[in-house]
Amino acid sequence: MEARSENFGPHLMLDLRKCAREKLGDYGHIFKILYELPQAIGMTKITQPYVFPYSGLVPEDKGITGTVIIAESHISIHTFQEKDYVFVDVFSCKDFDVEKAADYIIDAFESEDYDKHIVNRGKDFVRYGSPEKAAAI
């Protein structure tokens, strides 16, 4: 018989609108969020944030994209300067204070309107191979 967890972990997804436009195009600001957020929510950063400007085929879609790999999974940010919009994902294999993370991110972009989605991923994910291993932890 395999030991199962309730789920793998929470996935916080934020769609932020009506943000401070100057922050959406600020490379340093995006880097700082990705650098500081993991520690603020009890995660372990295993890479430096990777942040770069984006300007693709649709000029008004320009923005900053960044990610940081954490031992527990990842955090990503995609800004759209001309549209005052940001997409942020925080995914972790362990529980974290999703409200604290959401508040941190919403405040960092000064978002006036947003959608927050929290999904518990990995229903029936096998965390440990046997009940004995699960009991030992």
Confidence band for 9, pLDDT divided at 50, 70 and 90: confident
What mean pLDDT is predicted for residues 43-71? 93
55 in active site: no
**Closest residue by Cα to residue 79 from 18, 25, 13:** 25
pLDDT(7) > 50 = yes
What mean pLDDT is predicted for residues 112-120? 94
What mean pLDDT is predicted for residues 24-49? 96
What are the backbone angles phi and psi of residue 20, rounded to the nearest 5°? -70, 110
CATH of the domain at 120: 3.60.90.10
According to the model, what pLDDT value does residue 127 have? 64
**Total number of domains in the chain:** 1
Q: Which of 78, 92, 117, 130 is catalytic?
A: 78
Using one digit for the tens of pLDDT, what is the confidence trace for 90-114?
998 888 999 999 999 999 999 999 9
Q: Which of 5, 74, 76, 93 is catalytic?
A: 93
**Integer Cα distance of 136 and 120 in angstroms:** 25
pLDDT(40) > 60 = yes
- What percent of the chain has a predicted confidence (pLDDT) above 70? 85
According to the model, what pLDDT value does residue 48 have? 96
Mean pLDDT of the chain: 88
Q: Classify residue 1: in a domain, yes or no.
A: no
73 in active site: yes
Q: Classify residue 68: in a domain, yes or no.
A: yes
What is the distance, to the nearest Å, from the Cα of residue 119 to the centroid of all Cα atoms in its chain? Answer: 12
**Closest residue by Cα to residue 49 from 64, 19, 69:** 69
Q: Classify residue 109: in a domain, yes or no.
A: yes
Q: Classify residue 107: in a domain, yes or no.
A: yes
Q: Classify residue 67: in a domain, yes or no.
A: yes
Q: Classify residue 40: in a domain, yes or no.
A: yes
According to the model, what pLDDT value does residue 123 have? 75
Q: Classify residue 80: in a domain, yes or no.
A: yes
Q: Which domain holds residue 122?
A: 9-136
Q: Which of 19, 29, 73, 92 is catalytic?
A: 73
Q: Classify residue 2: in a domain, yes or no.
A: no
93 in active site: yes
